[in-house]
Amino acid sequence: MARPTEDAADPALRSALVERMRFYRELGLTEFYRRAVDQAAHDQDPLEDAESRAGDAQEPEKSSAPSLSGGSASEAENQPEPIALSVQANFFAEEPAIPARKNFSAPPHVAPAVPLEDRAVALRLIREDIGDCTRCALHKGRHTIVFADGSPTARLMFVGEGPGADEDAQGLPFVGRAGQLLNNMISAIGLKREEVYIANVVKCRPPNNRTPEPVEANTCSPFLFRQIDVVHPEVIVALGATAATYLLGQRQPLAGLRGRVHAFRGAKLIVTYHPAFLLRDPRQKKEAWADLQIAMRELGLKPPTRG
Ligand code: SF4
């Protein structure tokens, strides 16, 4: 049997609560209500007890927080849309509807590093949290949730916009023609695809490959942020304006974001063109190569020698 006073001294519970609070802060939730303790509810297994109270401690009477466990909660409970709307309703009403997150002048978020050997498991737990997600409308048209691909300990991470048809079919990011070009970009800087980590702002394919709506991107991107915190890359390359917008929390023309190094969650963030755009306008490949050279410089990489 666990008692509240004993729980407060439990390092594992304290750590779980700190992690959960941090995740909700990233979602924009900063105010919580405390319920009276139902003693009967505490007469349970300590681990189950800790998990359930971690949720209770942060849920108001009328809950607005999403469940973090993918399986047991009802789908209605898993809908975070009220969070995005309740926290950012005024923001969306005023357009342009981009996420209210840190701007360039904000101090970069730096999460405590997950030990290298634990990163694969930590990523798997995020995937389990996503579950068979119905948190945003994109679930209606998807075949597969496209979580990520690559090394959990990568020094370099690429972030795109969202899955396309090939990715939706295969369950992996960047596997179509744009993916082939991304593979070539990775080779050009002397790395293999399996040495980097690749993910998207949204994990389900938007209909007709449209740009994700702000509410969709805002709902899904906290999972991406958690992936970034676990992988802890030294450099992140944002592929295209949508990825740059939702990572940096600021809508700006790509030209104003390229060519410099931004700070994001303890990583150096570089913005370049989306490979799909480069397929349509190959003349911009030279510019993209210049961006990749910034990434190489930050990573201390030299281009592979030919021949
Ligand atoms: S895009 Fe993200 S939030 Fe929306 S349904 Fe898919 S996994 Fe869930």
Same domain for 50 and 150: no
Average pLDDT over residues 161-177: 97
Cα 26 to middle of ligand 1, angstroms: 17
Same domain for 283 and 178: yes
Same domain for 77 and 120: no
Residue 284 lies in a domain: yes
Element (H, E) at 244: helix 241-248
Same domain for 260 and 217: yes
> Mind listing the pLDDT tens digit for each residue in 210-221?
999 999 999 999
Cα 146 to middle of ligand 1, angstroms: 9
Predicted TM-score (pTM) above 0.85: no
Element (H, E) at 40: helix 39-42
Spell out which residues line ligand 1, taking CB within 6 angstroms: 130, 133-136, 138-139, 145, 202-204, 216, 219-220
> Mind listing the pLDDT tens digit for each residue in 135-166?
999 999 999 999 999 999 999 999 999 999 99
Same domain for 258 and 191: yes
Residue 37 lies in a domain: yes
Same domain for 292 and 209: yes
Residue 127 lies in a domain: yes
Domain residue limits at 35: 4-94
Same domain for 259 and 229: yes
CATH number of 283's domain: 3.40.470.10
Whole-Å CA distances, 110 to 37, 52, 107: 34, 27, 9
Tokens linked to 163: 């899955």
Nearest residue (by CA) to ligand 1, atom 5, is: 139
Nearest residue (by CA) to ligand 1, atom 4, is: 136
